[in-house]
Chain A
Amino acid sequence: MSKSMKMGMLGLILVIPSFLLLFVIVVIPIALSFVESLRNEAGGFDLSRYQFLFTDKAMRSNIIFTLKVTVVSCLIVLIVSYSLAVYMRFSSGRLVDLIRKTYMIPIFIPGVIATYGLINLLGNHGWLSRFLLLIGITLPRIIFDEKGIIIANLWFNIPFTAMLLSSALAGIPNSVLESAKDVGAGRLRVFFQIVFPLSYKTFLVAATFVFMGVIGSFTAPFLVGPNAPQMLGVSMEQVFGVFQEREQAAAIAFFTFLLCSVLGYFYIRSMVKDETARS
């Protein structure tokens, strides 16, 4: 056996465990869900479960609600996290030091506890509401509303996203920015033509992570979301657990997977395009 063949075999052997893992915990469940989602009430196969997904009024509003909460959460998380990361990278002082030391704290607080904390803080009878009542202000409905889910999403996602973006910005050497200033670029031009393009790959990774995390989230929407409309994760649990409709739940799961795949496709396409251009 030639040396190159041996190396090829070794490469294959090294790849097999992770491929098998991916196959067993991702590919097979997705395929099974898809097959299950095609099964109709009579036991045959058709697209009736998907038809229901898009024709049922409650289910349609669940999809729209989920997309709305996801997009709004993603936008706010990315804007706040990127602003924080830029501030931490290019500023100095006590406030920056304080932010650097504290912005990761939410990561270390379990989701359920953080969500109950938010209910206690922002609920109708929460202490913020009671405090504001003292000065004559009525707190608008936040908990058991989309606002509650969005705030919880910010709490869960901003620290990790800011950490990802901070490390990307830290990888841009000062001298690269100085050379842009040197040829006459002002602050805004340096940001939009140098800093952002050099960190946009990580920005895309962060956007993908946040999107997938929020669209498939369960804990926060279940605890602080409204009864209707619901996020798809909560709806899926209800269809599966309460209504015992496994096939319909599988159709929701597969649809959620498709939504994530669309973003994944754009992410991979932009990475491949980038690599091809530079190779």
Chain B
Amino acid sequence: MSIQLSIRDLSKRYKTGEGVSGISLDVNKGELITLLGPSGCGKTTVLRSIGGFLEPDSGDILIEGRSVVKLPPEKRPTSMVFQGYNLWPHMTIYDNLAFGLKIRKMPKAEIRSAVEEVLRLVRLPGAEKKYPSQLSGGQQQRIAVARSLLLKPAVLLLDEPFSALDAKLRHEMREELREIQTETGLTMVFVTHDQEEALSLSDRIVVMNHGHIEQIAAPQDIYDAPETLYVAEFIGKMNFLKGGAQGDKLVVGRMEFPNAKHLTGEVVVAVRPEDIILEPGTSQAAGLPGTIKQMMILGHYAEVSIDLGDHGIIRAFQPRDKVKELQLGQSVNATFNKVIAYSNN
């Protein structure tokens, strides 16, 4: 698979001290990669640098093997879908879509058929004569995506494009974007702070924190094997307990797990709520004894909080049927299917 976008040692510092440093990333042709992180982590800085809206202090950006770092946005083979749609309110949808094609001096007949085709792709056929203000937020964002798709960019950049939409529409738009990406084979760089969006959309996720990359991996790998404590805290729900590394074993209470990372001394043990098994009563065999503090039914599963004494309070996801066996204040024994350990430094 060929590399479509290559970022090499990119750095950009703002006067406030924020920014990014030493960002290196290769994006394959036809891949949808997501830059994920909290506000101020530098994900938008990276995206805007790719689009040419920010000039990095150092580093290089190559698209299809050609350095674009000195080119202005209008000369780059990229197109960006902005957070606020940014359709031009004084132009009809047709004019909004045709604007870039007219600049490229495409014949009128070809522009018309290209606009019709892209409107079908984004499920808004016949919207040509409308003005942006006559469309809903979701429809406007579809037009913004269509405007970028028409230009057939080498890399499509999406800056939190669905953040202004309500939850249901956001979900629908994600599915539509994925379909469009599969259909067009476009390389996409997607920026979001919404981990659910990142996990559901991406071929790979780049988790960013304080201007640097914490981990680059497929969504399942990010979720199952977060490389750093930060990623473990940021992605999904996670419980953290104190544990110890003894040779090739990790010890958490009376439980033992393989010490795959060959850690030593005190460690932080992370366990997903769905990897916790609760059994009523106490057992001397394995697990950690605790008391149920709270139970919240969340549709098809329940979130149960258990007080483990010295180990603190952990949260476990339990099937609805299982919850029927549990009561508030009841003593339970918690065992873990699997854990991830981190050095305590």
Contact = CB atoms under 8 A, between A and B. Distances in A.
Do A and B come together as binding partners?
yes
Contacts of A176: 86, 88
B290 interface: no
Contacts of A183: 74, 79, 99-100, 103, 147-148, 151
Interface in A86-107: none
Interface in B87-141: 88-90, 99-100, 103-104, 131, 133-134
Most chain B beta carbons < 10 A, residue from A176, A183, A184, A278: A183
A176 B75 CA distance: 17
B131 A278 contact: yes
Nearest to A189: B103
A179 B158 CA distance: 12
A60 interface: no
Given A175-B84, A278-B134, A182 B74 contact: yes
A55 B185 CA distance: 76
Given A173-B84, A278-B133, A184 B90 contact: no
Q: DSSP majority for the A interface?
A: helix
A164 interface: no
Nearest to B130: A278
Most chain A beta carbons < 10 A, residue from B78, B83, B103, B131: B103
B84 A194 contact: no
A181 B73 contact: yes
A197 B83 CA distance: 23
Interface in B126-171: 131, 133-134, 144, 147-148, 151
Contacts of A197: 90
Contact of A181 (B74, B88, B89): B74
Interface string B51-86: 111000000000000000000111100111011101
A205 to B, nearest CB: 16
Contact of B74 (A175, A186, A277): A186
Contacts of A277: 131
A82 to B, nearest CB: 17
A71 interface: no
Given A179-B88, A181-B52, A182-B73, 19 more contacts: A173-B84, A175-B82, A175-B84, A175-B86, A176-B88, A178-B86, A179-B147, A181-B72, A182-B74, A183-B99, A184-B74, A184-B151, A185-B100, A186-B74, A193-B99, A198-B88, A198-B89, A277-B131, A278-B131
Interface of B: 51-53, 72-75, 78-80, 82-84, 86, 88-90, 99-100, 103-104, 131, 133-134, 144, 147-148, 151
Interface of A: 173, 175-176, 178-186, 189, 193-194, 197-198, 277-278
Nearest 9 pairs of A and B residues by beta carbon:
A183-B100, A179-B86, A181-B73, A184-B103, A197-B90, A278-B131, A184-B74, A181-B74, A182-B80
